[in-house]
Each structure stands twice: as structure tokens, then as C-alpha cells.
Structure 1
Amino acid sequence: TTTSRFEGYDGNWIVLTGVFDLDADTYITAELTPGANDNIIRFYSAGNEIASITQTEFNVSKLLVDDIQIDGNTISTTTANTDLNLLPNGTGGVNIDNINISGSEINNTVSGAATRFTSTGTGYVEIVGVDGVVLPVGTSAERHPSPVLGMTRWNTTDGRLEIFNAVTWESVAGTSGSVSTTDAENIALQVVLSLG
């Protein structure tokens, strides 16, 4: 009558119905109470519910599969200094909110939205490598319709690197502009002639 279960004795009292350990504090139920018919399978350990299964979800506070642990809102590896790989099938990508990562591309899936890399305190964003960085390229007609301060691009119409100063687009060389190849050659020739 204490547990409302049928028991048998073989040197120890054993629950005869369901799945229980020897002291009946670790077990599985198919419904919360007899006759509840709530369609939830519950798993208990030491008297505490640790997991449940419904038609639509598997609810567990912590899940450990091989070297991957899911605990609350954290996915981590349990082995030190190992990578956590999220690998899509075929040409698929990994989606995190509005960001899709596929191969070597990071794409904001919201059309017209800004993608921001932010830092805190005195931190900064560093691009490491020895080759170069490719900036956006386009004609004057293809400029962003709502530019923001600091927006930078290569203008193929003017053949220059330009930056938006919050009022207008200007050359990164400043208002005086850069020296053309012809001007540079003429200046060099004048210097040579003046030095004899």
C-alpha cells in the first residue's frame, strides 16, 4: 500500500510491474498516475524526473552523446582542445538565426540587413593573412541607396577607392585626390632635370 504496486520477494522485495531498480527509486512510467493517459513517458533516477518523451519532444536537462554535451543553452565538447563540427549534408549550410554558413561563405539571409562583427571594450576586429582583402566593387550608379558613415568601396566608374563621409562619397586619398601615373612620371622627370 505504500507504493501502490505489486511486489514479489526473492530475498529482496521487487516491484513486479514496470521497470524499476531494487529500491524502486529509479524507474520509467508511461503516464504520470494510473489512468491519466497523458501520453508522456517519464524517466526517474533516485526519485527525480530526469527526462520525458512526448509525441513531439525529448526533454532532458543534460544530454551527453560521445564527446558532445548539451546542457541548457550550451553545446560543448567534453574532451579538451577538440573541435565541435556542424556538418550539413551536400550543399546545405549551417543556419544560426539569420546567418547561413556554407563552405567558405557567411551569408546574412535577410535581404538588405547589415552583418556586424562587434567587439567589447578596447577590442577590435583583425583580418589575419598576407594576401589582401577584397572590398565591394561597383559603378557610381551601384552605390548603396542609404550609405552610412565609413562605408568603403572600389568605384569602377572613377577608378578609385572611395569612402562615405556622412555627406558624400569621396576618395580615400582626400579631397585633393590621388596622383595619376602621368602626373607621377612628370614630377619624377622634373626632379631628375632639376638635379642635373
Structure 2
Amino acid sequence: MKIVGILLVSSLALASAQPQGFFGGLRNFFGGQRPRGGRQNGGGGCRANRPNYSFGGRDYLVSWRDGCTSFTHGEGASFCRSAGMRPISLDTPQKEQHFLGLVSRERQKYFWTGGNVNHGRNPSIRWASGATTTSNAWSHTGGANRPQPDNREGNEFCLAVLNNFYNDGVKYHDVACHHRKPVICEA
């Protein structure tokens, strides 16, 4: 009985130390799922599930247009899957130019893409579409005042588009995947 009590107290201590708080920690401990990303409105999730934008004959879901602005990279991918889509692949010069322009026109600070960064000698991006590309859209600076991708936090494998965040224009940045941003999904 003592062992069960110790395990229960330890579990409660662990659950309360989790960033989602005591009850969220208990939900995770007992197998429940965390709410999907989206608005931080006291536990409400993001319910957008339909395309709200078109480009080049394809449909997209621009999450910030529906008030959904706070996903980790993984939560953004799950959000897109729940809508029958995937995070956007900026795998052609036309798509890259168009969506970098969109974030600027709509004065959005940033968004997640479906890209994963390879920090090799010649940095490349592996897209959710399966394509691998290189780009000239990398920023010349970032949080450590170094050209991107800089892997500043040591685990910056996810690709975000930042809108003049470092007085650098609309550019690609490698970002640790736990940061929170809106996402663009594509059909």
C-alpha cells in the first residue's frame, strides 16, 4: 500500500509540473489527449476544417484567418491532417514567392511550413510533399545574429516563415519545433 501511495504522489507531482498544468498533466498521465493547437482560449481548440484560400488551382487552409494561431510544429501537422490536408510545401519558386507575399500582405508575424531542415554543408529542406529543395529565402540573421539556418537552439529542424521578425524581411528560419505559430495547410 505504501508503494501505491508513493507512486500516486510521485505521479501527481510529475503531472503538476507539466507545462499544461495539473489537470492537463493528469489527462496525459491517464492516457487522454491534449487539446489540439489553436487559440489559447481556456482549453478550446481550433475548429477550422475547411479550405479558406486558393492559389494555382489548389485549396489551402490559412489557420490565422480562422483565429487558429498557436500550434507547435507537430500540432500544426495534426491540425492539417484532421482537415484532410498536410502542412504547406513551398516546393516551387511560384508557391514560395506567393506565400511569402501572403504573410507580408496580411501582416502576419510568422507561420509553420511543412518543411524540415537538413543542416548539412548545403542546407536543404525536405517538404511534406516529399520534395527536397534548396532556397535563397533564408534570412541573413536570427536570434544569434547568424545567417539561417543556424540551429541556434541545437534542435531547430522545423521550418518557419518569419515576417521581418529580425528586421530581415519575409524569410525562412530554422526554428525549434516546440515554438508556437499558425500554420498553412494544403490539400
TM-score (normalised: structure 1)? 0.20
Larger RCO, structures 1/2 (Cα 8 Å, 6+ apart): 2
Task: Compare CA radii of gyration and give the structure with the larger one.
Answer: 1
TM-score (normalised: structure 2)? 0.20
Higher helix share: 2
